């Protein structure tokens, strides 16, 4: 009996030391083919991760895989270049290139007798396979992880999979930006839209104009709640140095995330007008706003110094950010001052314009031509349609989907980010009174999941939809924990909109996969909304 009990104890300990693996991750891969025989591969502590030794990006991938498994599950694997295992050596995880696919982000993850093989059509595809393996293993690894034999074939639906963060209303640390990028990478997102400038603060260092960030980033105090008229009496500021921005760009690049900077113009510019009042229509003085909303004061379209200023700013933006895309905002820019400004009216007469909205198009086209010489394309919010769209502009549709639909039908590239599905500063539960403060509205996980970015478009028109993006505006989001709460689990939902084919989506199945992701969030210390509707 003692021998039987001892044997059973050993079996029990062995079972407890094995992790629970599930390939039903978020976003769900396109194809998961489990072996019908139910075989498993035992991944052991100290397993070697091999990669092509001459490829620095693949070396980075291997190192990240090792870091992920260590952080998530305390499981150790060892990166090693071009390893050829000896007969008795543990079968390795192999990272390789050469997968044949028209989609450069495609990958194949195979678990079988030869171990774990992640092959990508590019280094980026391999990284996506690494994230899938990471999520499949989860948080419960022991000395051995048993992975069922499987062949996973996967690729994203949309090439552009964006997430936005407003760091102008409230400033977030470099460390938190990196955490934000980590969460994006975990969900297969590949474009970080970084919102730098607002009426409430200018947060990008421009070395040729050092006072711009030093003074333009500081507001005397901040309104409490929704423009209550009551202020906290605390000076608020902070900006990102160019060195910090480069650090973020490098960190993101290792996770195959492109950083898109936004300098919002010609409105939302009180941060700049406070430092350079001569660029406004009235001449100021202007204060960095301490309240929320839309200021009537904008850059003067008729002042030649305005374009000189903007080009100097964009010169340095382009120098710091290698992104093909630069965002110039263009939203919520009132034309009241332009109607009364002699310089703006004179410019309209000079250009033969009949509407003030066309002045904004004039600025956009000047900047577009300037940035095209630097090999960059401009993105603007859907208001850029109002004065006539410049030929190569990319429209980010936020006031519903109609602006994006109209732009796609004109054969302009579009990023779909309608507030009705993608504004995650809205409340995610009906019971608003016990949630952290939001801007208003109601956007549950189920509605985010139901979003179809190409709705109402023909197959040909749908080709102009680059992809969807969620936006986190931060008037009322001042702390990292609050930002994460607003992001998760709605990021899970949008990630399946971004990644999966429409006919493969299933909200009930998605809800069944969420608890496993949340267990990983708990391990990593991410705050999230534990209830979803």
Q: Which of 483, 428, 515, 509 is nearest to 164 (CA)?
A: 483
Q: What is the pLDDT of residue 389?
A: 67
Query: Domain residue spans in the chain?
Result: 17-154, 162-419+453-468
* Domain 17-154, second-level architecture: 2-Layer Sandwich (3.30)
For the chain, what's the residue count?
533
What are the average pLDDT values for consecutive 10-residue runs of the chain, which has 533 residues? 40 48 97 96 93 96 96 93 66 94 98 96 98 95 91 98 98 98 98 98 98 98 97 98 98 98 98 98 98 97 98 98 97 97 98 95 94 95 81 91 95 97 97 91 98 98 98 98 98 98 97 97 96 91
Task: Locate 222 and state its tokens.
Answer: 């901040």
How many C-beta neighbours within 10 Å does residue 385 have? 22
Longest dimension (CA), the chain: 101
Tokens of 381: 């919010």
Tabulate helix, strand, coil % of the chain (nearest 5): 40, 20, 40
Which CATH number is associated with domain 162-419+453-468?
3.20.20.80
What is the DSSP secondary-structure string of 257-291?
A: -EEEEE---SSS-HHHHHH-GGGBSS-------SS
pLDDT score of 86? 53
What pLDDT sits at residue 277? Answer: 98
Query: What is the reported pLDDT for 88?
Result: 57
Q: According to the model, what pLDDT value does residue 140 have?
A: 81
Which spans in 417-457 are helix H?
Answer: 419-422, 445-449
* Sheet strands (E) in 347-419: 377-381, 394-397, 414-416
CB distance 227 to 293 below 8 Å: yes
Which pLDDT score is estimated for 84? Answer: 66
């Amino acid at each position: 009996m003692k021998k039987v009990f001892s044997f059973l104890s050993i079996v029990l300990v062995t079972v407890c030391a094995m992790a629970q693996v599930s390939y039903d991750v978020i976003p769900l891969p396109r194809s998961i083919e489990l072996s019908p025989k139910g075989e498993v591969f035992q991944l052991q502590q100290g397993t070697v991760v091999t990669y092509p030794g001459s490829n620095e990006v693949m070396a980075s991938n291997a190192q990240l895989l090792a870091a992920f498994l260590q952080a998530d599950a305390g499981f150790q694997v060892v990166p090693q270049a071009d390893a050829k295992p000896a007969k008795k050596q543990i079968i390795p995880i192999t990272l390789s290139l050469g997968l044949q696919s028209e989609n450069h982000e495609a990958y194949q993850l195979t678990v079988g007798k030869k171990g774990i093989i992640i092959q990508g059509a590019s280094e980026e595809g391999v990284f996506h396979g690494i994230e899938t393996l990471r999520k499949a293993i989860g948080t419960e690894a022991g000395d051995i992880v048993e992975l069922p034999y499987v062949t996973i074939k996967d690729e994203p639906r949309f090439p552009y999979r964006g997430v936005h963060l407003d760091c102008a209303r409230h400033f977030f640390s470099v460390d938190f930006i990196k955490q934000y990028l980590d969460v994006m990478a975990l969900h297969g997102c590949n474009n970080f839209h970084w919102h730098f400038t607002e009426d409430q603060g200018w947060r990008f260092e421009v070395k040729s104009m050092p006072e711009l960030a030093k003074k333009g980033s500081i507001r005397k105090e901040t309104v409490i709640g929704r423009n209550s008229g009551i202020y906290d009496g605390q000076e608020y500021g902070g900006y990102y140095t160019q060195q910090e921005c480069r650090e973020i760009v490098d960190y993101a690049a290792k996770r195959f995330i492109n950083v898109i900077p936004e300098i919002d113009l010609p409105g939302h510019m009180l941060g700049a007008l406070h430092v350079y009042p001569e660029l406004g229509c009235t001449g100021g003085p202007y204060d960095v706003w301490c309240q929320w909303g839309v200021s009537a004061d904008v850059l003067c379209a008729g002042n030649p110094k305005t374009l000189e200023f903007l080009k100097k700013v964009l010169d340095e933006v382009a120098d710091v950010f290698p992104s093909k895309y630069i965002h110039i905002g263009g939203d919520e820019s009132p034309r009241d001052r332009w109607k009364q400004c002699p310089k703006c009216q004179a410019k309209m007469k000079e250009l033969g314009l009949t509407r003030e909205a066309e002045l904004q198009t004039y600025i956009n086209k000047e900047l577009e031509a300037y940035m095209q010489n630097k090999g960059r394309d401009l993105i603007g919010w859907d208001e850029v349609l109002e004065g006539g769209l410049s030929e190569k502009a990319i429209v980010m549709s936020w006031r519903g989907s109609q602006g994006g639909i109209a732009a796609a039908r004109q054969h302009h590239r579009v990023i779909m980010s309608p507030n009705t599905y993608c504004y995650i500063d809205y409340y995610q539960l009906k019971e608003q009174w016990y949630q952290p403060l939001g801007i208003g509205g109601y956007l549950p996980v189920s509605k985010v999941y139901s979003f179809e970015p190409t709705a109402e478009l023909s197959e040909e028109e749908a080709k102009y939809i680059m992809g969807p993006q969620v936006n986190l505006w931060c008037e009322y989001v001042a702390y990292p924990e609050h930002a994460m709460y607003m992001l998760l689990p709605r990021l899970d939902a949008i990630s399946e909109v971004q990644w999966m084919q429409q006919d493969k989506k299933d909200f009930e199945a998605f809800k069944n996969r969420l608890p496993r992701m949340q267990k990983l969030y708990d391990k990593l210390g991410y705050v999230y909304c534990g209830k979803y509707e």
